[in-house]
C-alpha cells in the first residue's frame, strides 16, 4: 500500500553521520555517537552507583521492559511459551528485569484471558519464571549478584478482557468523553467506587507479598499507558477521596506503599509512569479506505476543553504535554521511597505513536502522522527534563545559601528511559550518548528483545549488531494479541513463524491494511 507520506527508513541510513543529518533535517535534539563503545568502558556496561535494590547494585544500564505474551493459562498460570521468554530475558545480559510480565493482581483486572495473575494459586509457577531467568543468566554470564528482578503489578481498568479475547469488560476511574464510546463504557456502574478501590489496594499488597516470597527484588506499581492507576492520575473530574486534587489522585499509590510496609514486607518499589499523555488519535478518515489505514489525527476534542481527562497533558491544547504535575508526582515517588522510575508516555490503545514509535501500525492503529523519530526524541527529552528537574531540586536543598528546602531524599530514584526501539541500528549509538551525558540512568527495551534479546550484550562486547535480528517495528507483537493470538516476534523469531498463528496474522494484517 502507498504511504500517507514519505519518511526515511532507518536501515537506509548507512552511517551515524547519515543518521545525524536526518535527525537535523527534522529539527530534533537526538544525539548519536559515531561508533559503539565496547568493553567495561562502555557507558551501557557501567553499574548503577549510589542506590541499591534489595541490597544489589544494578550491574549495567539496560533494562527489559514488561511485556504481556497473551500466553498464560486461563487461570493465570505459567506456560512453556512464557518460560521461554523469561529464559531469553536472562540470556539477554540486561541486569534489570523490569517486570518481565504485566501481572494482574486479580482475575477481573486482566487485559486478556491468558494474562498471568499473581495470586497464591499461581505462586509456584511464578517462582519458576524467576528461577528460569536466574539460571539462564548465571550460565551465560557467570554471576547474578548484580541482577535485579521486579514484577509489574497491574489492573487493566478500561482495557479489561478477563473472560473473552474480544469482549471488553471495562472498570474505570471516571467517565471519559472520548474513550467511553471506544471502550464500551456505557454506565456509571462501571466506575470504581471508593470502597471497591479500598479492596483493590489490598490485592496489590497481597501480590507484593507473593512477589517477595518467590524471589523478586521489587514490584512495579504500574501507572502508565491508560491502565487503571494511570487513569486515576487523570481523575480530575472524579469526586471523593480518590479524585479531584493531586493529593487524592495519588492516594492509591501512597496507600499501596503504606500497606506493603505495614505488613513488614521489605520488597523495594518501582513505578512505571506515563509522564505525559495526549488526547486519543484515530486514522484520518479522509485518507483511509478499506484495507488502507490513514495517518493518525487527534479525535475531536473541542467539546471537552479544558481537557481535564488526562495526566501530564496541556488542558488547553491537549496535543502537547505539561509536566507540572509530572514533576510533582516524581518528587512524591522519591519521598515515598520509590527506588526506580520507569518513564513512558501515552497509551498503545489510543495514541500509540507517542508511546511506541513505529514505522508500521498495529491492525487497530493508524499510519504514523509524522516521522517516528519525532516521538522518540520527545520521550527521550522528557526524561531528560524530569531528571534535570530532580537534580536541580536536590541541588537547591544542598545549597546553604539557597534558603529553599525540599523533602527529596539524598538519593533520587533510578530513572529508565523508553521509546528506543525505533532507533534500530543506531539504538546503541544514541543510548550510550544519553547515558554518558546523564539524560537518563538506564535504557529500557521491550519489543526489541523479542527478536534480538542480546542486542546490547552484542553491542558492548563486539561493537556490532546482527542486522537481520533487529526489530523493524512491524507491530506484529501488538497486532497478534489485538486479534486474539499470542504475542511474539512473528517476522524474525522462527519459534513464532512456525506456529499456526503466523498465517492467521498475515490474513488479519492484509484485511486491516496495517
Q: What is the rounded distance in angstroms from the CA atom of residue 182 to the CA atom of residue 192? A: 19
Give me Rg for the CA atoms of the chain: 21
Tens of pLDDT along the chain (514 residues) come to 344 467 899 999 999 999 999 999 999 999 999 999 999 999 999 999 999 999 999 999 999 999 889 999 999 999 999 999 999 999 999 999 998 899 999 999 999 999 999 999 999 999 999 999 999 999 999 999 999 999 999 999 999 999 999 999 999 999 999 999 999 999 999 999 999 999 999 999 999 999 999 999 999 999 999 999 999 999 999 999 999 999 999 999 999 999 999 999 999 999 999 999 999 999 999 999 888 899 999 999 999 999 999 999 999 999 999 999 999 999 999 999 999 999 999 999 999 999 999 999 998 899 999 999 999 999 999 999 999 999 898 888 777 555 555 677 777 899 999 999 999 999 999 999 999 999 999 999 999 999 999 998 999 999 999 999 999 999 999 999 999 999 999 999 999 999 999 999 998 888 876 6
Nearest to 311 by CA among 353, 352, 288, 278: 278
In this structure, the dihedral spanned by the alpha carbons of residues 502, 508, 512 and 514, taken in order and rounded to 10 degrees, is -10
Residue 281 CA, distance from chain mean position: 19
* pLDDT confidence of residue 402: 54
Mapped onto helix, strand or coil, the DSSP state of residue 503 is: helix
Per-residue pLDDT, 406: 61
Pairing of strands 414-417, 442-445: parallel
Burial of residue 164 (number of CB atoms within 10 Å: 0-12, 13-18, 19+):
exposed
- Distance set, CA 376 to CA 357, 370, 430, 431, 446 (Å): 6, 11, 11, 12, 14
Neighbours of 17 (CB within 10 A): 11
Between strands 62-64 and 96-104, the pairing is parallel
The H-or-E segment that residue 428 falls in is helix 427-436
Question: Please, which residues have CB within 8 angstroms of residue 481's CB and are 6 or more apart in sequence?
Answer: 68, 70, 112, 487
Beta-carbon count within 10 A of 398 CB = 10
- Please give the Cα distance from 129 to 124 (Å, whole number): 9
CB atoms within 10 A of CB 207: 25
Q: Which three three-digit cell numbers place residue 187?
A: 454506565
Report yes or no: 10 and 23 within 8 Å, Cβ to Cβ: no
Pairwise CA distance, residues 458 & 417, whole Å? 20
Rounded to the nearest 10°, the torsion over CA 271, 272, 275, 281 is -150
Local structure of 178: helix, strand or coil: coil
Q: Is the peptide bond before 306 cis (omega within 30 degrees of 0)?
A: yes
Query: Which H or E element spans position 76?
Result: none
CB 59 within 8 A of CB 74: no
Q: Which CATH number fits domain 10-474: 3.40.50.1100, 3.20.20.70, 2.170.190.11, 2.40.50.140?
A: 3.20.20.70
C-alpha cell at 238: 472524579
**For residue 499, how many other CB atoms are within 10 A of its CB?**
18
Q: Residue 409 and residue 415: Cα distance in Å, rounded?
A: 15
Is residue 487 within 8 A of residue 481, CB to CB? The reply is yes
Whether the CB-CB separation of 434 and 416 falls below 8 Å is answered with: no
Query: Which residues are paired to 62 by β-bridges?
Result: 443
CB 114 within 8 A of CB 70: yes
Task: Write down the residue that cell numbers 551515524 correspond to.
Answer: 16
| Predicted local distance difference test score (pLDDT) of residue 1 | 38
What integer pLDDT is reported at residue 403 of this predicted model?
Answer: 53
pLDDT of residue 108: 98
CB 437 within 8 A of CB 46: no
**Do 194 and 240 form a contact (C-beta atoms < 8 A)?**
yes
- Distance of alpha carbon 494 from alpha carbon 490, whole angstroms: 7
Q: Distance (Å, rounded) from C-alpha 166 to C-alpha 124?
A: 29
How many angstroms separate the CA atoms of 448 and 425, rounded?
11
State the pairing for strand pair 442-445/148-154. Answer: unpaired
State the Cα–Cα distance between residues 104 and 119, nearest whole angstrom: 9
Report the pLDDT value the prediction gives residue 429, as an integer from 0 to 100. 98
Residue written as cell 538506564?
442
Cα–Cα dist 99/225, whole Å: 15
Amino acid at each position: 500500500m502507498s504511504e500517507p507520506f514519505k519518511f526515511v527508513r532507518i536501515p537506509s541510513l548507512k552511517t551515524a553521520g547519515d543518521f545525524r543529518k536526518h535527525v537535523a533535517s527534522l529539527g530534533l535534539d537526538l544525539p548519536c555517537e559515531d561508533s559503539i563503545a565496547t568493553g567495561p568502558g562502555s557507558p551501557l556496561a557501567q553499574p548503577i552507583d549510589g542506590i541499591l535494590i534489595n541490597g544489589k547494585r544494578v550491574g549495567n544500564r539496560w533494562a527489559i521492559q514488561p511485556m504481556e505474551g497473551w500466553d498464560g493459562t486461563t487461570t493465570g498460570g505459567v506456560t512453556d511459551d512464557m518460560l521461554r521468554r523469561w529464559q531469553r530475558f536472562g540470556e539477554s545480559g540486561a541486569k534489570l528485569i523490569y517486570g518481565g510480565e504485566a501481572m494482574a493482581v486479580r482475575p477481573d483486572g486482566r487485559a486478556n484471558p491468558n494474562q498471568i495473575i499473581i495470586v497464591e494459586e499461581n505462586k509456584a509457577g511464578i517462582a519458576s519464571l524467576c528461577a528460569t531467568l536466574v539460571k539462564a543468566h548465571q550460565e551465560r554470564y557467570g554471576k547474578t549478584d548484580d541482577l535485579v528482578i521486579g514484577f509489574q503489578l497491574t489492573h487493566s481498568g478500561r482495557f479489561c478482557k478477563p473472560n473473552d479475547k474480544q469482549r471488553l469488560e471495562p472498570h474505570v476511574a471516571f467517565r471519559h468523553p472520548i474513550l467511553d464510546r471506544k471502550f464500551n463504557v456505557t454506565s456509571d456502574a462501571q466506575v470504581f467506587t471508593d470502597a471497591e478501590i479500598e479492596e483493590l489496594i489490598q490485592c496489590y499488597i497481597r501480590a507484593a507479598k507473593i512477589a517477595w516470597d518467590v524471589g523478586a527484588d521489587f514490584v512495579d506499581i504500574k501507572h502508565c499507558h491508560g491502565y487503571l492507576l494511570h487513569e486515576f492520575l487523570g481523575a480530575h473530574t472524579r469526586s471523593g477521596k480518590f479524585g479531584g486534587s493531586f493529593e487524592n489522585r495519588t492516594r492509591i499509590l501512597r496507600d499501596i506503599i503504606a500497606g506493603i510496609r505495614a505488613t513488614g514486607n521489605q520488597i523495594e518499589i518501582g513505578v512505571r509512569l506515563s509522564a505525559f499523555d495526549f488526547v486519543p488519535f484515530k486514522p484520518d478518515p479522509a485518507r483511509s479506505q478499506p484495507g488502507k489505514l490513514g495517518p493518525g489525527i487527534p479525535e475531536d476534542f473541542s467539546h471537552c476543553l479544558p481537557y481535564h481527562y488526562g495526566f501530564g497533558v496541556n488542558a488547553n491544547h491537549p496535543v502537547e504535554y505539561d509536566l507540572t504535575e509530572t514533576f510533582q508526582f516524581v518528587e512524591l515517588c522519591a519521598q515515598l521511597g520509590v527506588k526506580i522510575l520507569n518513564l513512558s508516555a501515552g497509551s498503545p490503545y489510543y495514541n500509540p505513536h507517542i508511546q511506541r514509535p513505529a514505522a508500521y501500525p498495529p491492525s487497530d492503529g493508524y499510519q504514523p502522522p509524522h516521522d517516528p523519530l519525532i516521538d522518540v526524541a520527545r520521550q527521550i527529552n522528557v526524561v531528560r527534563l524530569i531528571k534535570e528537574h530532580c537534580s536541580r531540586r536536590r541541588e537547591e536543598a544542598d545549597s546553604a545559601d539557597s534558603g529553599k528546602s525540599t523533602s527529596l531524599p539524598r538519593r533520587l530514584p533510578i530513572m529508565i528511559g523508553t521509546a528506543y526501539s525505533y532507533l534500530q541500528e543506531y539504538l546503541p549509538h544514541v543510548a550510550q550518548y544519553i547515558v554518558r551525558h546523564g539524560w537518563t540512568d538506564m535504557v529500557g527495551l521491550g519489543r526489541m528483545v523479542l527478536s534480538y534479546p542480546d542486542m546490547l550484550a552484542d553491542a558492548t562486547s563486539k561493537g556490532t549488531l546482527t542486522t537481520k535480528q533487529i526489530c523493524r517495528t512491524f507491530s506484529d507483537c501488538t497486532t497478534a494479541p489485538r486479534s486474539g493470538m499470542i504475542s511474539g516476534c512473528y517476522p524474525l523469531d522462527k519459534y513464532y513463524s512456525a506456529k499456526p498463528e503466523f498465517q492467521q496474522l498475515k490474513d488479519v494484517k492484509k484485511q486491516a491494511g496495517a
